[in-house]
Chain A
Amino acid sequence: MIQKKVCMIGASGVGKTSLVSKFVHSMFSDKYLTTVGVRIDKKSITVEGIEMTLMIWDLAGDDDYQRLQTSYLRGTSGYLLVADGTRLVTLDQIIEIQARVTAAVGAAPFLLALNKADLATQWEITDERMADLKARGWNSFKTSAKEGAGVEEAFTELGRRMLQPA
């Protein structure tokens, strides 16, 4: 059984924890996030016939009060960046965070989840921004923690990428 550590990274309030909760059944309470700054969950998936266990480290949101603790990133095989599609600013934040993550752990597979896709009317990310992201080489998924859309796919795709040799 292959185990992989995966980190959920994003600004506060973008819905990282909600995405994980949609994806797994958790054993620890949300309180860990505000105390220790991380909550760990587990999810088994099958990618291209290979069964793997994702140890999902849901890191506390990065904001003015709590900086991302990069030590939690150590040993991660990949990470999921999460931004709130209805708040453009979170996308800017995630770009900045990603740079810090790369500095801390080096190149590792990652995906961008643009969350809250269910709130189409409030969507702030333009096609232009999307093209810009693509140009950076970022793969993005529109996800909805509320409706569950795109969540499974995002994790499976990340798993697939982690299995590929670097």
Chain B
Amino acid sequence: MTTLGKAVGQRTCQPLPVTSPPMRESPGDALKEYEELRRLLLSRERGELDELRDQLANKERRSQDVAAILPAAVKMSREHGGELAGALRPAVESSVRESIEKHPETFVNALHPIIGPIVRRSLAESMRRLLQSLNQSLEHTFSWRGLKWRFEALRTGKSFAEVVMLRSLVYRVEQVFLIHRETSMALLHVAADPALSRDSDMVAGMLSAIQDFARDSFQTGDDSTLDEFRMGELQVWIASGRSAYLAAVIRGNPSRELRTRLEEAIDSIHTLKGSALANFQGDTAPFESLRPELEGCLETRYAEKQGSRRPTRALFIITAVAAFIAAGLLALGLAKTRWSRFVRQLSSTPGIVVTDTEHNWFAKSAVNGLRDPAAADPAAIARAAGYDPARIDFSWKDYLALDDASVQRRFAQRFQLPAGTNASVHHGVLTLTGTPPYEWLDRVRHEATLVAGINTVVDQGAKVSYDRNLAQERFEARFGLPDSMNVKISNGVLVLNGEASHRWLTRVRAEATNLPGITRVDQSGAADLDQRTFAQSKSIIEHAFVYFLVNKDNIATEGFAALSRLPDEIRRCETAAHRLGQDISLEIDGYADAVGDAAANANLSQRRADKVREFLLSCGFASDMLEAKGLGKQEQAPDAKPLPEESDRRAALKVITRPIASKP
């Protein structure tokens, strides 16, 4: 081992002679030894080699290694030029594009925090400018100073805008040129007033020329620049950059801040377009994108501290106007709603049909339509809705509403519904419930159907209320009380005492029990006046014998007395019969005495009856109610008391009654 150790020590000093070992025992041993030697010599390297192999083969490890050195590599690559960026660009661009197409919301979310504030700031800035200029013009329009300026404008012949400008403007950047230093060409030109932008190229050229002129004339050297020059109210400020410069044409007295602003702008322009500026060959199109930078320099600053001053007046007036408009719109909306609510209310009122309305603010409003006279008063509805009825022209055409509510209203108006009584109308049927007073109910029963829209009255559900003490009064009110009649009601029995007409009695008999408190009629004590009159009259007529002379048809003197009474009595009898519902006719019977033959007597008795009939006809009685019969010799009943002889020579009347209705 020690020799080997020595040999190893030598070999390490002399790497080559491995090919010629000092002694060789056998090829197999030699190989073994050699291997052993190699193992001993290179064991560390082999370990490292294995490690390296593993490192190369093991993807994970390789990734870890690359990850460890990648940031440094990228950094280094950037320092040595843009090659890496160039190589990565297509891959990054396409991956970004793909990503945007597939997951736009990811980008929206990522960009939102950046773009949001920019947009907000830009909007806020625009709003601020708008407010400021509005405020300015309002101030100039309404303030005392504004009036003063107007007067000044009038006096000096200048325009008002000019005076305002002179008095209030601190400065205004009217134009900004971006001029290429080498070629003196205007790369871009912006102007506050578009009318100013004529021939910007030539102006830019002359600006350059003037600078050159000044430099040459006063031999200031190439590095020095003309920073500003002034003529009257105008001055030109120049902010120089490496390849281009900005020239701002300013009216008034600009603040130093403006210079900083211009310098920042030219710096940023060089940052953005440095190479394009350096390689400018006459094409100005690439610089168009710088317009926002230049426009940012078009400042206007007014007198007084605009920055710290809030445009309160404008805000106030805008707010006031907005509030006014809003209030107006609100009022308009409310008024409209109120009016349509009123019209709806009118339309839904039973008995009112609105056909046309017109709502006016200043003139009278108008409502046209149909109205049932019983319908609610539209003026009252208007008043309830908060309108002055005098300011509305109502134009109604009358009509009868047949809807249930209108009919009910019409009924109630006519009959004044008593307390405790309910009335409802449905399809022409008036249903009464509750406890209607008898009188009212009675009237309703008779008259309700006179109300348009009511065909039937149903009152089975109603419990009639009445005052028992009033029964007699009610009876008298209903039937009237004839003078000769006394009425008493006890325990529901109506007791009649006295005389009354047949008609009255008949009616009482038929209807008295309809009255509450009367269940029965006792008329045993009541006399029928008409009946009596008729009976009396009938008896008088039938006992008025008209006597004739012997064997003659001439009326005997005593016969005349009876005859003369007959017409009046017959009329009285007829009247009474009529009251009883009867018509009368008269049978006139002629008689003869026993003397002479029967045929002659029959003839004589007929003539005698005819005589009386003729008399009655001459008194105006209708012929069809008079029938004359010749009865000849009157046969005496065997047991009858014999009449005097002259009574045989007579004519007598019989009253025959028949009901009026049976008369054809």
Contacts and interface: CB of A to CB of B under 8 A. Distances in A.
Nearest to B198: A27
9 contacts: A5-B183, A28-B202, A40-B209, A41-B202, A42-B201, A55-B185, A69-B212, A71-B212, A76-B183
B25 to A, nearest CB: 83
- 6 nearest A-B residue pairs (beta carbon): A75-B183, A40-B205, A75-B182, A71-B212, A2-B282, A38-B209
Interface of A: 1-5, 27-28, 32, 36-38, 40-42, 52-53, 55, 57, 69, 71-72, 74-77
B199 interface: yes
Interface in B222-264: none
A42 B210 contact: no
Given A36-B210, A57-B209, A75 B202 contact: no
Given A1-B283, A1-B285, A36-B210, A71 B202 contact: no
Contacts of B210: 36
Contacts of A1: 283-285
Given A3-B185, A69-B213, A72-B212, A53 B180 contact: no
A37 B215 CA distance: 13
Interface string B276-306: 0000011111000000000000000000000
Interface in B171-214: 180-185, 199, 201-202, 205-206, 209-210, 212-213
A36 B213 CA distance: 6
A28 B205 CA distance: 11
Contacts of A41: 202
B213 A77 contact: no
A159 to B, nearest CB: 11
B216 interface: yes
Contacts of B212: 69, 71-72, 74
Interface residues of B, number: 22
A55 B200 CA distance: 11
Contacts of A57: 184, 205, 209
Contacts, number: 70
Nearest to B285: A1
Contacts of A55: 183-185, 201-202, 205
Contact of A40 (B202, B213, B283, B285): B202
A72 B209 contact: yes
A36 B202 contact: no
Contacts of B216: 69, 71
A83 B215 CA distance: 29
A3 B182 CA distance: 13
B282 A52 contact: yes
B57 to A, nearest CB: 56
B76 to A, nearest CB: 38
B278 to A, nearest CB: 13
Nearest to A24: B202
A52 B206 CA distance: 20
A2 B284 CA distance: 7
Contacts of A37: 209, 213
B54 to A, nearest CB: 59
Contacts of A38: 206, 209, 213
Given A1-B283, A2-B283, A57-B209, 8 more contacts: A3-B201, A5-B185, A28-B206, A57-B205, A69-B212, A69-B216, A74-B212, A77-B183
Contacts of A71: 212, 215-216
Given A3-B185, A74-B182, A53 B201 contact: yes
B184 A5 contact: yes
